[in-house]
Structure 1
């Protein structure tokens, strides 16, 4: 269990793999912690040096008073990568993690040499939509939004599994202020023009059953970057690394190998 003190903010992180391995950073979605990636890591190529972390307001990291800005989340990630010595990394971001990936690649190309934009967008939803969700959580906690969130996140067959209930509980255990703080960051973000300025290898990953960031949004975002590609996983929702880990890992492995891993 590692905590990085970044100018007074403590972030929980974990590093796996050899010190001389290819650096890969994973950033997870709103309402999850870095266990999001557990199932795919054993399926990836050997020799990677992998950094995972809980963003502010999530998991075991500090939960300062919100709302947060996307700039703060990007800065947190930048400081953590500097702290841990991760540079020239392949950055894999899912949902809000994919927004962080876009912003960080724009700000610090020395840290990011390739991006995987999974189940994300240059802009996700509207300010009004996020305001309604934040108001609901402020009034009734995450229980007020858990059921519609799970409908958007997971395919119907996955709802019948025991594993589904673990992810539902993870969501409910997220600090409400961390969720609303990060929700405000998403609400205030529009990266269409900045992402269109990126010139680096990029892969989009989408799920056909994703009610939060549908395949068309993922493809539209990834297409902003010349030479990019988008892969769609059938039968998976917003977290395909959970529902279809083997297929997700295979797609990711192909991209990693294309980067010389």
Structure 2
């Protein structure tokens, strides 16, 4: 089980694709949402591994990564991603992040765009929520834990139809949510409370695909359209689903990523 040891914590990561069999294939890095682990991308790995060498990791305080003391800043999350690329000696990679992972992708495009090819920002905004709403969330988690948030989380993340048809898929995501460290969750809520990239994302020169869930109450399609218009080379695509759109519309999501990143697979 691979880990990267940093000064204050360790990151758990996974590489899919045999090194010898991936010569000439581009790297694709995935960054998960708040309260999930790297397995939220299982359907993407299954569909895209013939075309890419895939790197995914558990954000600090999530999954099998360790939990440094909160609070965290968005720059901490972005620098974790860069530290992982440096340690693995990966010079350049495509990036796909969802929710706080999409916010991290925007930060990386602003501050380290030369390390990235194309960037997919999914179910995110340049500013997610308000400082007040995240403070309220942190207080609720401290008092009641994450399990108490599960019913509201299901409603935000998946449509009722998907939850009814695929309860096992929803259950796996919720298991990782409830298992998330309280300090890790609160630390990332603090990063969200302080993150506002609306004035800076115009600096992103990388080709950027903004993917929304058409019924997402957290980051609605208008937020992703706004990102696509503010960056230098952006476009917006809306798919059926709510916040965890990569699972609810996994087939269409994979097709969209392959189409967006796919020119690199022919090099």
Q: Is the Cα contact below 8 Å between 1:95 and 1:119 reproduced in 2?
A: yes
Does residue 40 of the first structure (1) align with residue 65 of the second (2)? no
Determine the structure 1 residue equivalent to 2:148. 144
Q: Hey, what's the Cα distance between the residues in 2 that align with 1:200 and 1:65?
A: 33
Q: Tell me the distance in 2 between the aligned counterparts of 1:10 and 1:233.
A: 35
Which runs of 5 or more residues in structure 2 are unaligned?
none
- Number of aligned pairs? 260
Segments of structure 1 that go 5 or more residues without pairing to the other structure are none
Task: Tell me by how many angstroms 1:144 deviates.
Answer: 2.7
Q: Determine the C-alpha separation between the residues in 2 that align with 1:122 and 1:231.
A: 16
Q: Is the 8 A contact 1:151 1:211 kept in 2?
A: no
Shift of 1:65: 1.4
Contact 1:117 1:222 in 2 (8 A): no
**1:152-191 deviations in Å (ceiling 9; x for gaps):** 1111112222322222222111111111110110110001
1:250 is matched with which residue: 251, 255, 258? 255
Per the normalisation by structure 1, the TM-score is 0.95
State which of 180, 183, 194 in structure 2 corresponds to 1:177. Answer: 183
The match for 1:219 is 225
CA distance, structure 2, for counterparts of residue 231 and residue 42 of structure 1: 22
Q: 2:43·2:250 contact (CA, 8 Å) conserved in 1?
A: yes
Matched, 1:240 2:266: no
User: What is the root-mean-square deviation in Å for CA atoms of aligned residues?
Assistant: 1.4
Question: Which segment drifts farther, 211-220 or 154-163?
Answer: 154-163
State the 1:228 CA deviation.
1.2
Superposed counterparts of 1:1-261, under 5 Å: 1-19=1-19, 20=23, 21-44=25-48, 46-160=50-164, 161-234=167-240, 236-259=241-264, 261=266
Partners of 2:192 and 2:253 in 1: how far apart?
Answer: 24
Specify the SS of the correspondent of 1:56: coil
Stretch of structure 1 that moved more, 216-225 or 114-123: 216-225
> What is the TM-score when the length of structure 2 is the normalising length?
0.93
Q: CA deviation at 1:108?
A: 1.4
Which segments of structure 1 move beyond 6 Å, counting only runs of 4 or more? none
Q: How many angstroms does 1:225 deviate by? A: 1.1
Does the aligned pair in 2 maintain the 1:114–1:200 contact within 8 Å? Answer: yes
Q: Secondary structure at the match of 1:110?
A: helix
Using the alignment, how far apart are the partners of 2:228 and 2:187 within structure 1? 26
TM-aligned CA deviation for residue 192 of structure 1: 1.0
For 1:239 and 1:93, the matched residues in 2 are separated by 11
**Bigger proportion of residues as helix:** 2
Contact kept in structure 2, 1:18 and 1:47, CA below 8 Å: no
181-190 or 82-91, which moves further after superposition? 82-91
SS of the counterpart of 1:115? strand
